Structure 1
Amino acid sequence: MKPPTRASTPKPQNELTRRTFIKAGTAAAALGASSWNRVVGANERVGIGVIGFGLVGRIHTRNFKAQPDAQVVAVSEAYRPRMDAAADLVGGRVAQYPDFRKLLEDKNVDAVVIATPDHWHALMTMMACAADKDMYVEKPLTLFVREGRWMVEVARRHKRVVQVGTQQRSGPHYQRARELIRGGRIGKLVSVQVSYFRNVAPGFGNPPDGNPPPDLDYDLWLGPAPQRAYNPNRAIYHFRWFWDYSGGQMTNLGQHSLDVVHWITGVAGANAITSAGGRFFLEDNGEVPDTQDALIEYPGFRAVCQWRECAAGVAATGMGGLEFNGTKGTLVLGRDGFEIFPDKKENPTNIVARIIGGHPVGGPQPVPEGEGVQFWTEPAKDSSGNWKDQYVQHIRNFLDCVKSRREPNSDLQSGHQVATVCHLANLSLRSGRKLRWDPAKDDILGEPEVAAMLLRPYRKPWDAELRALRVA
């Protein structure tokens, strides 16, 4: 087995069983005895352990169960009713662990799906790496910037395959759109518009603090997050409304959309970010913005992100709509497909004259143009997108990489880079400052007070787990 290596379409490279692999002394020596738990052969089933059984955890459990070379062998949930629901969905004999650490000790588990609240993603991933498990970890990858660097370090040390749950990269129509943009179909990229609009007014109420449900291990649910009184809006579902556990829609959906931008353009990070917004309309006890705009300055182009929770708007492609604006036209991309809208090919001296009825005396005069309308590029439309299939394609890519040891479509390093941009947008909003970023140093320039917010402390005893991982 080798460390993950990049492959555009990962496929199993051999059919090694555990026995034949052990006999392959040079390969085993390269990996190291402490760097693997069980080598999964090309024809073997991958034992899957699922941690977290909320909305997305249920989707993943169903999809992994449907794969012929995967078997869900264990589930873990801090909320007992969800644990029972997960076991019912899997059926048969499935190990149930109220504490995820026991799942990580299970030798039948080869790979772990992490579909917990956001504040758990990083630490669980690192602990799973140390337990010699491969990971499919949901986005957003991290709660704060420094976690991403730690995750990359630990995964590389233990030679683990880690797929980030930004499944658009595995969607065939997203891949076709990428080829068109990179091939120059819309010309040179000028800007990208990222949007997500919905209306959840007036919000989710202001329930009082109280005792957690008896079936919820609230202390374990909190994990490394600060100790807080239990509130129904903090756990179990609306955690994304609070800074302790999430970065709001900027990190939730922002990681999805900006990941597509990074993947298509090949950028590693932003040069500068400015963001503004607030919680202006929702009447509940949430903390994160219900309205947020961000201007992200990438090398060579700009991205404008807009999130609204109180005005649905008329976004052309619904959730996670993207507009790539080029010098020849615009490509509008969403989970259902994409469409190219060509720009007209006109003499610039005629455009204003046509609108206002001619130029003033002494100004440029209209220039004769040929018959018919000409365009800079050709139109195109693809309506083949299916969000459910994108999940399936992404886990299929992950399973293939678990066996081949190739790097998956959504690798950990790129996931860290995208999550960093999302976190910087939130830090700009909260500090009221334009932030300049040095991707090479992985640090904010000239704002030491804001740079200190790139790191957060873990609550005891989870800080000890972090120290045990030996991260810098």
Structure 2
Amino acid sequence: MKRRQFLQNTGMFTAGSLILPASLHAARKIAANEKINIGAIGINGMGWSDVRAILKNPEAQLVAICDVDKSVLDKRMAELAKENIKPVIYGDYRKLLDDKNVDAVVIGTPDHWHCKIMVDAVAAGKDVYCEKPAGNSIAECAVMIGAQQKYNRVVQVGQWQRSNKHYQDAMEFVHAGKLGNVRLVKAWAYQGWMKSIPVQPDSAPPPGVDYDMWLGPAKKRPFNPNRFHFNFRWYWDYAGGLMTDWGVHMIDYALIGSKAPLPKSIVASGGKFAYPDDAEETPDTLTTVFEFNGFNLLWEHATGINDGPYQRDHGVAFIGNNGTLVVDRGGWEVLPETINGKQMMEAVARQQRTDNGLELHAKNFLDVIKSRKMEDLKCPIKDAAHVATVCQMGNVAFRTGKKIYWDADAKRFSDADANKYLAAEYHNGYSLPKV
């Protein structure tokens, strides 16, 4: 059925917004010994990894899957058939949300859909596990916080490093003050495996792809294979490049360790220095400085290079007067500052990772669904929106080419050009959700 005909026939959807019958707002209460019924929306990449992590827990069962690409649905159904799992299939996420059998949803779509689907899901009484980044603009981040508060649903964002014990141990060490005055924090992602994307001509969408639904609120453009599936990350219509792809992971811990609010000012410099003539829009090389009270946060990213600071392709470094703590997904260590041959503190040998953050994150989500203790969530939407907002600020600084200043009281920038990027543009009859 064509989208317009579908809207007319149901009478439930207007201007791209979901209007649910009041009866659906009340979620099913799940007893301690009951199964949690999961529906998955967007199952090609991390969305599917999230589902697999959730299904490792016996209290969860997959009852519905949704994707705009039939080939992806067929692939997943073939995999699930081997495990005798037979979910209902949907091509339109709104029909999945209308399924009263679904208790919670995993959102694994491109970034430009996160806000819309998350708001619609909590309005439908569903708990949500949403892939990062939370919102594709500063305005979307604020809306997502408001929606969770209004409907009081569990919303976990997939920044699974928050569930790794070694990260938590590293933050405890930082907060203990042994590093001395920390004036500079570095966060970075050097991704050597991410190579150039060659320019390709526009074409018809692949058979079985509902391209209009894939675009959703994004600007109407001809289909191009470069913009589809994984590579959507490198186009401003749908995402924010490495700044929001890896930045929300690394900058998240920079903010946690520093107990930092939003920055006072931001300046960014970079561009397509590695692959100037390829198809991506977002910068492959970027340096961004976020100014806070008492310290600066430096973000660096580069594609096609692996050897970043401290010979790590990703990480966070808290640089203090006495020493530097470096943490990444594999572990953490402390490197003492040496002055006149004297070490200012004891070294801490590398403390290795001992657990699976993604699986722990999924288990935490299910635990809170049953307990309803929102304070136990490892990455609630408020926290995820905070770091996503900081990352979006970095992209705004890059796109304006200016040093920009944030007015915390007015909740906007002091620069008119920067404020043009506060909210992502919505198209095709969709609008920014109102809460």
Give TM-score scaled by structure 1 length. Answer: 0.82
1:110 corresponds in structure 2 to 103
Distance in structure 2 (CA, Å) of the matches to 1:208 and 1:175: 47
1:462 corresponds in structure 2 to 430
Deviation at 1:198, TM superposition (A): 2.6
Shift in CA distance, 441/402, structure 1 to aligned 2, threshold 3 Å: farther
2:363 corresponds in structure 1 to 396
Match of 2:231 among 213, 228, 238: 238
Within 5 Å, which residues of 2 pair with 1:198-347?
198-199=191-192, 203-282=196-275, 283-316=277-310, 318-344=312-338, 346=339
How far does the alpha carbon of each residue in 1:350-373 deviate from its partner, in whole angstroms, 9 at most, with x for none? x4xxxxxxxxxxxxxxxxxxxxx6
Match of 2:77 among 78, 82, 87: 87
2:411 corresponds in structure 1 to 442
Contact 1:181 1:264 in 2 (8 A): yes
Distance in structure 2 (CA, Å) of the matches to 1:451 and 1:68: 47
After superposing the two structures, state which structure 1 stretch, 244-253 or 373-382, moved more: 373-382
Deviation at 1:188, TM superposition (A): 2.3
Shift in CA distance, 74/187, structure 1 to aligned 2, threshold 3 Å: same
Distance in structure 2 (CA, Å) of the matches to 1:438 and 1:413: 19
Give the letter aligned to residue 60 of structure 2.
A
Contact 1:120 1:224 in 2 (8 A): yes
Match of 2:172 among 175, 179, 200: 179
* 1:377 matched to 2:354: no
Distance in structure 1 (CA, Å) of the matches to 2:265 and 2:184: 15
* SS of the residue 2:212 aligns to: helix
How far does the alpha carbon of each residue in 1:95-150 deviate from its partner, in whole angstroms, 9 at most, with x for none? 11111111111112111111111111111111101111111111111111100111
After superposing the two structures, state which structure 1 stretch, 55-64 or 252-261, moved more: 55-64
2:13 corresponds in structure 1 to none
Gap runs ≥5 in structure 2: 1-21
Distance in structure 1 (CA, Å) of the matches to 2:350 and 2:99: 44
Match of 1:150 among 139, 143, 158: 143
- Identical positions, percent: 35
* SS of the residue 1:322 aligns to: strand
Contact 1:72 1:90 in 2 (8 A): no
1:126 corresponds in structure 2 to 119
Give the letter aligned to residue 330 of structure 2.
D
Shift in CA distance, 317/96, structure 1 to aligned 2, threshold 3 Å: farther
2:46 corresponds in structure 1 to 56
Deviation at 1:332, TM superposition (A): 0.6
Give the letter aligned to residue 70 of structure 1.
A
Distance in structure 2 (CA, Å) of the matches to 1:64 and 1:306: 32
Distance in structure 1 (CA, Å) of the matches to 2:32 and 2:404: 47
How far does the alpha carbon of each residue in 1:167-226 deviate from its partner, in whole angstroms, 9 at most, with x for none? 111100001001111111212222111111133586121110010001111110001100
Deviation at 1:423, TM superposition (A): 1.0
Give the letter aligned to residue 211 of structure 1.
A
Shift in CA distance, 40/265, structure 1 to aligned 2, threshold 3 Å: farther
Contact 1:294 1:305 in 2 (8 A): yes
Contact 1:268 1:439 in 2 (8 A): no
* SS of the residue 1:267 aligns to: coil
Deviation at 1:462, TM superposition (A): 2.2
Deviation at 1:66, TM superposition (A): 1.1
Alignment size in residue pairs: 408
Distance in structure 1 (CA, Å) of the matches to 2:30 and 2:409: 36
Distance in structure 1 (CA, Å) of the matches to 2:378 and 2:250: 15
Deviation at 1:281, TM superposition (A): 2.6
Contact 2:317 2:327 in 1 (8 A): yes
2:9 corresponds in structure 1 to none
* SS of the residue 2:39 aligns to: strand
Give the letter aligned to residue 411 of structure 2.
D
Which structure has greater strand proportion? 2
1:75 corresponds in structure 2 to 65
Deviation at 1:440, TM superposition (A): 4.0
After superposing the two structures, state which structure 1 stretch, 183-192 or 82-91, moved more: 82-91
* 1:414 matched to 2:375: no
Distance in structure 2 (CA, Å) of the matches to 1:143 and 1:421: 12
Distance in structure 1 (CA, Å) of the matches to 2:427 and 2:265: 31
* SS of the residue 1:230 aligns to: coil
Deviation at 1:376, TM superposition (A): 2.6
